Structure 1
């Protein structure tokens, strides 16, 4: 009898915890784009497309937010090539990360929206690859300047959502 009561209580707690976590909504990471210069439109496009993709996290421009929080990501236009390595998953209590947006990559013909999407991936904990695949955002410049895709493959979205469950 006691075992059955404990099992019922455990099921109830699991359901209640899952329901309250889902009801809380996605993790919101506020960013500052005041130094992103010519990447402003690319950031806005990525915000728009991302609003329907990831379930558990989103980036929000602190200057446009109704309820701005502490900035944890600062996007900055940079003359360097895209950085390597993941820097996330960044959390609302993380130190502010400065994310360079590569003018050099755009100067070589790479699509600015794809450059920004790849940096979003780094913020959310995805590691850049060099596999040359246009269907994967994290392949970055290795996909070549002809690649204009900046929407995520489902497997990449799943990895991001898993980082914020």
Structure 2
């Protein structure tokens, strides 16, 4: 029968060999630069407490941006919490501050009922105006496939999804964690035909 000390020593040696082999075959450590860029998601809060009647359209517009842009996330601000984007309902034409808005910054979106009265889609309006806050100007005239073509696409257009170029432009503006390379424009863009 083998010596118990020998069995213990052999077991420890086997465990060390197994741990060393496992560590040698483990996945390489992540590149810190890649991790930093992958986790550089900018969270922008919006306050729609003064946008009665637009709740579903705002939620759908926010969901569209969140599903199509990787480095920006729009979230509803908790009551009493500051928000970068103030969304209000008005009786005029929709309008918004041209961003890109930064965390801690201020942008205003006015969801005007005049456009709805004329027959334009509420969700497209909400997504389009949020696009201004994210730094996208109008592309008028333009096709329905371009979200930022706004009212020039006609009342039959209900597309609320940014196209690939619009997505890329927003992601570029917020690359590296915040809109540092592209200063906020600050103009108010009115989306009347």
- TM-score category (smaller protein): 0.7 to 0.9
2:186 corresponds to which residue? none
**Length-normalised TM-score, structure 1:** 0.80
1:134 aligns to 2:144 (yes or no): yes
Does structure 2 conserve the Cα–Cα contact (< 8 Å) formed by 1:70 and 1:92? no
Structure (1 or 2) with the larger CA radius of gyration: 2
Unmatched runs of 5 consecutive residues or more in structure 1 = 1-14
**Length-normalised TM-score, structure 2:** 0.69
How many residues get paired?
145
1:87 corresponds to which residue? 98
2:35 corresponds to which residue? 19
Q: What's the Cα RMSD here? A: 1.9
Structure 1 stretches of at least 4 aligned residues deviating more than 4 Å after TM superposition? none
Unmatched runs of 5 consecutive residues or more in structure 2 = 1-30, 176-193
1:36 aligns to 2:51 (yes or no): yes
Change (3 A) 1:151 1:83: same
Distance 1:18 1:134 in 2: 36
1:109 aligns to 2:109 (yes or no): no
SS of 1:115 mapped into structure 2: helix
Does structure 1 conserve the Cα–Cα contact (< 8 Å) formed by 2:121 and 2:155? yes
SS of 1:38 mapped into structure 2: coil
- 1:48 Cα deviation after fit: 2.4
